[in-house]
Structure 1
Amino acid sequence: MQTLSERAAAEDCGQHYFLFTAIETTEKEKVEETGKQLQSFAAQFNLPFSFNVLYIPDLKHLKAEQVEIKADEAVVIHASFALRAMISKLLELENSSTHYTMRSDDQHRASIEAGSVLDGIRNIVAAEGRERVTRSVSLQVWRDFFGSYTPGSWTELVGGTNLRDYKVPKTTIILLIGTKGCGKSSLVNKISDVFESERFTPQRARVSLNPSVGGCTCFAHGYKIPSSAKSFCVYDAQSLSYNQSENENMLKHWMTNGVCHEESFIWCHAQKAYYLPIVARPINFVVFVVNAVSVLESMEGRDETEKRYTRVVSKAFNSPLLSFKDDRPVVVVTHGDLLSVSERVRVRVHSGDLLGIHPKNQIFDIPESNDCATKLAILDMLHYCLDHADQNLPLKGLFPSLFLQHISLLWLMALLLWLYALMRVYIYLDRILREHILK
């Protein structure tokens, strides 16, 4: 909506009026509530906008005149999931097609059918195997997909490199970073729930109900995902504080020395860390967790005290220690279920501007809910992390390979010299023998 408002303001003809018609078959009340939230959000940008709900329990009764399209209106149709489920319902599919929404002689109809619709239909109906990229699969398929992952398996080998040229870890380590109460432990449990097939699985990470009075994470805990696998592990570590120097030292320790299971930091005035003598694991990627409610409060804050949350987040996120080559951490926004839809959008856009990352590709909205959209966001986030972790694996040092090459060259030169000396001895002995025979 912000883009539409800016585009309309830039045109000489003034602002356009936007009418949104939602065709609903089951939950009319929820759609109407969504429409009210969208109208409230559009009002913030002074965007002329109205929302209309067309309740039709059976789509075979849908008629074009019910939408009330005027002659001077431009129509955009979005039905990314509705039409694909109607292959077996030919009458409903016919009623919902472009035949009833666009005239047969419309100049745009041919381009839409050939460009946007034809490839999808052809891929669903005719393609098989790897060529079929459009499909609907169950959650178990995604579990199997991540279950087949091994560290380094998604690395793009370019420039003549092989996987053995990289420092491939036995387990890919993903570190969760965030302030107290941002929802890191809850995120661990939500990730685990996606991969656990049993319905009633106990929570693996302890969640604090009121972090302000204590009980937050003080020890680093590693959680294998899923619990029976060893391919990748999510670490929930000590929370960031409002002390920038302490945060910098803590990030430096993690990113330089690695993270240990059950590691605890006790920062004294000398800024020294005491931790258990366990083998540290190098971190392969970072997930930065932020609280949507805290971001919104900081956005609307009037003094510096109220705005300090976003300052802490921005300072820690932009630390060069958290970057892997050109890749910066992925951001997970939690507690969005406590906000309206418009507020969640504002938080996401503001976070992208604040941190300098794309709000759609690198920021994932994962609220405290257990619906399919949340599970999909978790899977997308994990895929992003594992893919970028594999793409940023460090190369092994060049010294051992160069040393071996030099040793091999020296051995070859020594062998050639030995053969040359042997040949000279043979020639000398042959000449002596011939002179002896002639005498």
Structure 2
Amino acid sequence: MGGGRCPTGEQSSDADASSSDESQITKLPPPEHCADRLSDYARARALLNSRDFFVRRYKPGYFIDDEARDEKFEIPETTTLLLIGDPGKGKALLVSQIKSVFDDVWSTPAPDDFNMTPGWGTLQEHMILKDSTSICVFYTPCWPDFSEENHTVLQDWMKNGVCHGNSKLKLSLNKRRMVNYVILNLDAVSILESIDRKDDRYMDMVHDTFNYPFLSFRGNRPAVVVTNGDRLSSAELSSVLDFIKELLGIPLCQIFCIPGIDDYHTELNIVALLRYCLEKADQGLPLKQKGLQEEQELKHVIWKGEIYSDLVIDVLIVCICFWIFWNFGRSIGLFSLHR
């Protein structure tokens, strides 16, 4: 997928150095020819900088703009992203693509790090950075559908955390992690078929899953990833993206198209997706109990201040009305003294 990777999973030789990320950028058309090419060049440079100077150095809580963030917020050891979606629609390939962007080696889809036999309710944990535990992605390879029964499982994951292995087992040797943000995987081919068939049932399930309250973090709804877009024409893919935008009521910047191919633009989209998710994950981190108590006390003080200020304003209004009425009465002789 772009810089320095080969499909066999081996490191490229020095002779292939021209295929590195920096050389990929230099292969872009000279920026002075047209504004569009300049925009492409600037976007590629910015996203590669995000990969090398942001994502690789990322630590949980990076996006919290507060000097006392460690004292106020519950900063996890690992930022955990949960990937959900229909089975066989590209989740395993997507995880492999994300990992390969930072490993510089194309890995086979759905690597099974623990030799675990997948089954319904089974979660797989994948660290994104090879030499760091800052970012991990969980996904289940056998998620049946977006049914109401599965919403109960989602609720359990969001409330009690996720761990590698069978989610139904209460005791596990694997570490349980709280989910920090959710990615909803939609298949471009399935969406197009549903549009053609006017399958409202499937669309309703997608809509209900996206808006499921337990998947929201301080109002931040899941990011949407559209896979297998390379199987559609440009016009078909554009109609699918517009349909998803209208169905879920979100801007296009919250929808990321990740085709199942290994190319440079796919890598750029993956970097943009990961940065978006990490930013939303940090924005949704919970306050510590002490910080939460201080916030509640501050809200109580503000609430009392608003009550007292409203009371003072009401008294002033009554006094002004009485003064106006008294002066008006005296002007017409209503309150004059008769001897």
- Report the TM-score when normalising by structure 2: 0.68
Contact 2:91/2:141 (<8 A) preserved: no
Residue 380 of structure 1: CA displacement? 0.2
Q: 1:178 to 1:348 in 2, by over 3 A?
A: same
- The counterpart of 1:378, out of the listed 260, 270, 275, is 270
Report the equivalent of 2:202: 309
Report the equivalent of 1:396: 288
SS at match of 1:136: helix
Report the equivalent of 1:211: none
Residue 346 (str. 1) matches residue 239 (str. 2): yes
Contact 1:294/1:309 (<8 A) preserved: no
Contact 1:177/1:286 (<8 A) preserved: yes
Written as runs of structure 1 = structure 2, the 5 A alignment for 1:5-16 is none
Report the equivalent of 1:170: 77
Distance in 2 separating the partners of 1:245 and 1:138 = 38
1:361-384 CA-to-partner distances (Å, cap 9, x unmatched) read 100000111111111000000000
- The counterpart of 1:248, out of the listed 118, 133, 151, is 151
Report the equivalent of 1:179: 86
Distance in 2 separating the partners of 1:290 and 1:255 = 20
Distance in 1 separating the partners of 2:223 and 2:49 = 25
Residue 227 of structure 1: CA displacement? 2.6
Q: Unmatched 5+ residue regions in structure 1? A: 1-80, 87-92, 98-115, 125-132, 207-213, 266-272, 403-439
Report the equivalent of 2:179: 283
Report the equivalent of 1:142: 51
Report the equivalent of 2:261: 369
Report the equivalent of 2:230: 337
Q: Kindly indicate whether structure 1 or structure 2 has the higher relative contact order, using CA contacts under 8 Å at least 6 residues apart.
A: 2
Distance in 2 separating the partners of 1:315 and 1:285 = 17
Residue 189 of structure 1: CA displacement? 0.6
Residue 189 (str. 1) matches residue 92 (str. 2): no
Distance in 2 separating the partners of 1:400 and 1:376 = 38
Distance in 1 separating the partners of 2:84 and 2:69 = 32
Report the equivalent of 1:205: 111
Residue 153 (str. 1) matches residue 59 (str. 2): no
Q: 1:186 to 1:217 in 2, by over 3 A?
A: farther
Amino acid at match of 1:325: R
- Pair member with larger Rg: 1
Contact 1:298/1:310 (<8 A) preserved: yes
Report the equivalent of 1:231: 134
Contact 2:118/2:141 (<8 A) preserved: no
Contact 1:156/1:391 (<8 A) preserved: no
Compute the RMSD of aligned alpha carbons. 3.3
Residue 202 of structure 1: CA displacement? 4.3
Residue 319 (str. 1) matches residue 212 (str. 2): yes
Residue 142 of structure 1: CA displacement? 2.0
SS at match of 1:361: helix
1:286-335 CA-to-partner distances (Å, cap 9, x unmatched) read 01001111111111114xxx443222211111101100011100000001
Contact 1:255/1:282 (<8 A) preserved: yes
Residue 204 of structure 1: CA displacement? 4.8
- Report the TM-score when normalising by structure 1: 0.54
Distance in 2 separating the partners of 1:135 and 1:249 = 41
Instruction: Name segments (4+ residues, structure 1) moved above 6 Å.
Output: 214-217, 399-402
Q: Unmatched 5+ residue regions in structure 2? A: 1-27, 295-339
Residue 137 of structure 1: CA displacement? 6.8
Distance in 1 separating the partners of 2:253 and 2:48 = 22
Distance in 2 separating the partners of 1:328 and 1:134 = 25
Q: Percent identity among equivalent residues?
A: 34
Distance in 2 separating the partners of 1:140 and 1:400 = 36
Contact 1:287/1:331 (<8 A) preserved: yes
Written as runs of structure 1 = structure 2, the 5 A alignment for 1:28-177 is 82-84=29-31, 86=32, 136=45, 139=48, 142-157=51-66, 162-177=69-84
